[in-house]
Structure 1
Amino acid sequence: MTDTIHNTILPMTDTTVTPEDYTGEDGLLYCGKCHKPKEAYFPEGKTFFGRDRHPSECDCQRAARKEREAAEKQRSHLETVERLKRQGFTDKTMQDWTFANDNGSCPQMKNAAGYVARWEQIKDGNYGLLLWGKVGTGKSYFAGCIANALMEQEVPVCMTNFAAILNDLTASFAGRNEYISRLCSFPLLIIDDFGIERGTEYGLEQVYNVIDSRYRSRKPLIVTTNLTLEELQHPEDTAHARIYDRLLEMCSPLCFTGENLRKAAAQGKMERLKRLLAGKEICL
């Protein structure tokens, strides 16, 4: 027992000495750089295994410790964000849908920033969004910016689509309830391209189960769709009606208008290619 104390505990009370250090008038060791004590006496003349002093952080040691702690915290944060994005996106390219990469062509993007900035109130109030409009108007990118920004704050988000969900449910029929429960466990669920999965009775039933389960979880849902608000408000049959009614109850509609950003991007890429083929310099 005595050997354990000497070999384990006592070294913890040793003070690290550098060539610049010196002993002060009070008998304590001082740092040769910041001139602050690296030792302190035990209170009221007490001792510990014959020692009357214990190590104390000088300013240099404290600064070095804080720097190490900050680096470790940053490393842990980056690992967490990387894991959340790996688990939260069905498509790796979605990780590039960020505010930093936004080209400013979507007039609604300020609302995405506001959604993130007020996330705590959004979450507590269970405020969802239904992003609707024509193809290529920036709905998915808008939702991806929200997802990435929240993940960078270490908030778990799942951004998927019903095609992927239905495939997963079909592949793991026995664990269907557990799968839906996992989807509903995310603080924010984003379903992209809603509406393309319409068709079979089974598919519609599973779509409703997912949306209804999310509704009962009382957590925010963001949905993007190319359907018009008119189509959502006046569905073609009862099966669609109960799905759309749930969505409109959970999510506030936000219309996306303007030019097709995908066509504009493709046109710009074509023009750059023409200039390259003509042997002209281009600015990327």
Structure 2
Amino acid sequence: MNATFSNMTAAPEPEDYTGEDGLLYCGKCRKPKESYFPEGKTLFGRDRHPAECDCQRKIREERQAAEERRRHLDAVEELKRRGFPDQTMRGWTFENDNGQNPQTATARRYVEEWEREYAENLGCLFWGSVGTGKSYLAGCIANALMEKEIPVYMTNFAAILNDLAASFEGRNEYISRLCRYPLLIIDDFGMERGTEYGLEQVYNVIDSRYRSGKPLIVTTNLTLQELQHPKDTAHARIYDRLIEMCPPVRFTGGNFRKGKAQSKLERLKTLLAGGKENCL
């Protein structure tokens, strides 16, 4: 009874005052801290209940916003911990992008149109030469979606095949777990060993993802010609399913990895020659 009664009593501050209507007012914002029950009703013998003044409302909203920010940061941290097997991928963001990749705009649009992409099960097949930024932009998409609290898993078939071999009895559950992510990203497709067992498992994963009705993004160094004209039936059914799910997006331009390596070499030469430029 005492606790209930206390909750119905506005806590006065030294600067608060009683207005002409008999209610307690905030001495700072001049708004009431109490309100009368309607139609003369009472509760526990009282005719009024606490109300929020503007000061109290601001404090509450700021506290709730801070709590929401903490909750959001914790949620994103957990998504990235689970979604990236290699934690360096956390740095693959649009904010860190140098803007030189011609397909950056395509990757940004994918994030902007995510709800439609998800509803229509639209993925992408990023193909092109080594070092053209395919993996990086796929990681940018993953990071941007995780910042929106959308679960994404980015992996490769070498890791998937290792996991499947290590837990044969849980194979179906493992593949089902991959298919539960709203977006699955498979990096460096075609680099895994093409054994009969490996090809069968690759097909199982891609086909299961297809039947889940959820989008898939794949990066590959294979050419579109190689994907459209596979060397045998085992590869043909994998590539056919993949192209059906993921419209191809060609990555062109120079090799960013070689460019970065050359830049580092030039900085090192400058440093060793006694120049003023620091080695980053």
Bin of the TM-score, shorter chain as denominator length: over 0.9
Report which stretch shifted further, 272-281 or 186-195: 272-281
Q: In the alignment, residue 11 of structure 1 is paired with which amino acid? A: S
Quote the residue 1:234 is aligned against.
229
* CA deviation after TM superposition for structure 1 residue 277, in Å: 2.0
Deviations 1:18-68 (A, max 9, x none): 111111111111000000000011111111111111100001111111111
Quote the residue 1:65 is aligned against.
60
Runs of 4+ in 1 over 6 A off after TM superposition: none
Q: In the alignment, residue 171 of structure 1 is paired with which amino acid? A: A
Q: In the alignment, residue 61 of structure 2 is paired with which amino acid? A: K
Quote the residue 2:7 is aligned against.
12
1:128-167 aligned within 5 A: 128-167=123-162
Quote the residue 1:272 is aligned against.
267
Q: In the alignment, residue 270 of structure 2 is paired with which amino acid? A: R
Quote the residue 1:183 is aligned against.
178
Where does the alignment leave 5 or more consecutive residues of structure 1 unmatched? Answer: none
Where does the alignment leave 5 or more consecutive residues of structure 2 unmatched? Answer: none
Distance 2:27 2:276 in 1: 59
- Match status 1:125 vs 2:127: no
Distance 1:23 1:169 in 2: 72
SS in 2 for 1:87: helix
Quote the residue 2:197 is aligned against.
202
Deviations 1:101-136 (A, max 9, x none): 000111110000000000011111111101000000
Q: In the alignment, residue 84 of structure 2 is paired with which amino acid? A: F
SS in 1 for 2:247: strand
* CA deviation after TM superposition for structure 1 residue 74, in Å: 0.9
Q: In the alignment, residue 69 of structure 2 is paired with which amino acid? A: Q
Identity of aligned residues (%): 72
Q: In the alignment, residue 242 of structure 2 is paired with which amino acid? A: L
Distance 2:234 2:19 in 1: 84
* CA deviation after TM superposition for structure 1 residue 272, in Å: 1.1
Distance 2:246 2:33 in 1: 60
Quote the residue 2:93 is aligned against.
98
- Match status 1:114 vs 2:109: yes
- When normalised by structure 2's length, the TM-score is 0.98
RMSD: 1.0
Distance 2:167 2:193 in 1: 21
- Match status 1:24 vs 2:19: yes
Q: In the alignment, residue 236 of structure 2 is paired with which amino acid? A: A
Distance 2:97 2:235 in 1: 34
Quote the residue 1:211 is aligned against.
206
Quote the residue 2:39 is aligned against.
44
* CA deviation after TM superposition for structure 1 residue 279, in Å: 2.5
Distance 1:73 1:153 in 2: 13
Number of residue equivalences: 279
